[in-house]
Structure 1
Amino acid sequence: METAMLRALRLSDPNLSCFDPLRRIISHDDFSRGHCGWSQLVGNYEDTLDTMLPGYAQHTSAMLSTLSHWDAGSHGGVDSSYALKIATRARPGAQNVAIKRLTTRERGPIRFECYFTFKPEATELKLSETDVRSFGFLFDLQGGDTDGDVERVMPHVRFLNAEHGKHIQKWQFKSKTSEMLKIGDDDKTATHYHLSPDGWEDLPDGDQRLCYNEIATKVNWSYLRFDFDLASMRATSLRCNDREFDVSGFAPMRIPAMKNLWCMLNFCLFAETDVAKRAFLYVDSICISGEF
């Protein structure tokens, strides 16, 4: 339980007062300090890179960005010059994913918070509000080697902004993954592309119109929060700006535990384009916290 003194100390810190963390902060990623552990999601392979699934082969490294653009220079972050930039390739349906790899020491509630914005690359003199197909996040979790009935659990959440040129604007989750494939002959590595475009389900009352400014280079930052319980492996809350969504029917992906991923606590951010133009997901800062 958070004490009044601890809460007052956090509220007095401008770097943390914009978040609402649980009692223990696991990491606070301010991208004015660098990548803070966020790197490219590289697909599994063995002996040759040709065994990597095409979905992973398209990924590139996340970048630090000042949100530069042609008409006014640089936008910058919320309160510094830099943000993390996740950029797709310029091909309809292309995706890119950044990952932060941790392990857990307690099974309890965790909270993921961030400030984000999204845009297509400003290559045309028009708003292009339907050029970004989606953006989102996922966790990749597994219990400890002495836990009973351990599964690999992967909650996925995305904001489907548009599809085939049509504005949609709703939150979705995904509970089923693609087929698990073995790689190599040593039975050490397997792979599955869990961000394949099929299988997404709508959150109840998950429609939301996010702020999207009037020209192709303007951005406004939004707040996102997701709560998940590592003890029950269940989602408990999803909030974006002034809206909190019903997650009572939310179901994460569940697959058999992998023999070398004990206590895994991974976080991913992703973007997807709908047209032959790069889509950008910018993240100003992230706070990951837990109740332990």
Structure 2
Amino acid sequence: MTDSPSGSELAEALRGALLLADPKLSRFDPLPRIISHDEFSRGHCGWSQLVGNYEDSLDTMLPGYAQHTSAMLSTLSHWDAGSHGGMDSSYALKIATRPRAGAQNVAIKRLTFRRRGPIRLEAYFTFKPEATKLQLGETDVRSMGFLLDIQGGDKDAGAERVMPHMRFLNAEDGKHLQRWQFKTQTTPFRPVGNGEKTLSHYHLAPEGWQDLPGGEQRLCYNEIATKVNWSYLRFDFDLAEMRALSFQCNDRVFDMSGFESIRMPAMKNLWCMLNFCLFAETDVAKRAFLYVDSVCISGDF
């Protein structure tokens, strides 16, 4: 005679069955509580332009932020066959740089957290340069990636602002590199405007990136400039310990023991902040596109 399943086991089995029955959720592996499930066929779903701090005038914004533009909803149109569309709908989120070597663009989703526990970011993405030539252009995109911007609560002892960054360095100066990197330092804080009330720093500056140990990976990049294939990524972070837990892209799960985040003292008005960013960077005077089909943010709380 076997033991009957417990109530918690039955609840977990039911939850698993419901996830598998929904094709839009079963492509993800969410933690127990789904915080947001963003399908860009429904709109921007809270992803907006990362606007830099300014005071009195927009001209006080740091140059890194001044280059950013709004993310767009896109059908992945192209000149030879029309439109790709998203992975299973007509639209994806498009993050496009300006056509200048080293230009970046960032989309952000601004949240706060209510409990400290594991969180998970999952997404299906693809990237490519603007197809302006009848050439593959596999080294035209410098990088794409994501970051989190997190700060502890106002009653936390020793609260910090913690910013885990991860990028896929596709190419640099025309050389195909294809490896994951992280960074542990940002640029110095600078006051903007005429006072000391508003500060700013550009944490996506090109300096300070480090190779993730064992982080070399060749992603699918199809044979002509207009083709795309969707890839999967998952990043796990513990809000209680403020440390990365794991990272996966497609079939590869990476060792995160050597990963560290940017850390700084807590700032006076960012308590319980939980921001997610997606970014793209071009290596040539051609726009780079990061397309995101869907995003799932979940937690174990």
| TM tier, smaller | over 0.9
Match of 1:279 in 2: 288
Q: Distance in 2 between matches of 1:120 and 1:246?
A: 30
Tell me the SS of whatever aligns to 2:26: coil
Match of 2:146 in 1: 137
Q: Cα offset for 1:182?
A: 1.7
Q: Distance in 2 between matches of 1:249 and 1:205?
A: 10
Match among 234, 247, 260 for residue 225 of structure 1: 234
Structure 1 residues 149-168: aligned runs within 5 Å: 149-168=158-177
Match of 1:42 in 2: 51
Q: Distance in 2 between matches of 1:265 and 1:30?
A: 20
Q: Distance in 1 between matches of 2:242 and 2:16?
A: 27
1:7 aligns with 2:10: no
Match of 1:54 in 2: 63
TM-score (norm 2): 0.96
Contact conserved, 2:95 with 2:289, CA < 8 A, in 1? yes
Q: Distance in 2 between matches of 1:267 and 1:199?
A: 20
Q: Cα offset for 1:184?
A: 3.4
Match of 2:156 in 1: 147
Q: Distance in 2 between matches of 1:236 and 1:166?
A: 31
Q: Distance in 2 between matches of 1:273 and 1:81?
A: 25
Match of 1:28 in 2: 37
Tell me the SS of whatever aligns to 1:238: strand
CA RMSD in angstroms, aligned pairs only: 0.9
Percent of aligned pairs with the same residue?
78
Match among 261, 283, 289 for residue 298 of structure 2: 289
Q: Cα offset for 1:187?
A: 3.3
The one-letter amino acid paired with 1:182 is P
Q: Cα offset for 1:4?
A: 1.1
Match of 1:120 in 2: 129
1:73 aligns with 2:82: yes
Q: Distance in 2 between matches of 1:31 and 1:200?
A: 30
Contact conserved, 2:57 with 2:193, CA < 8 A, in 1? no
Match of 1:181 in 2: 190
Q: Distance in 2 between matches of 1:182 and 1:255?
A: 16
Q: Cα offset for 1:185?
A: 4.6
Tell me the SS of whatever aligns to 2:278: strand
Q: Distance in 1 between matches of 2:79 and 2:90?
A: 17
Contact conserved, 2:161 with 2:265, CA < 8 A, in 1? yes
Q: Which runs of 4+ in 1 moved over 4 A?
A: none
Q: Distance in 2 between matches of 1:203 and 1:191?
A: 27
TM-score (norm 1): 0.99
Q: Distance in 2 between matches of 1:34 and 1:188?
A: 35
The one-letter amino acid paired with 2:268 is K
Q: Cα offset for 1:249?
A: 1.1
Match among 257, 270, 274 for residue 261 of structure 1: 270
Paired residues in the alignment total 292
Match among 204, 211, 216 for residue 213 of structure 2: 204
Q: Distance in 1 between matches of 2:175 and 2:195?
A: 46
Q: Distance in 2 between matches of 1:7 and 1:109?
A: 19
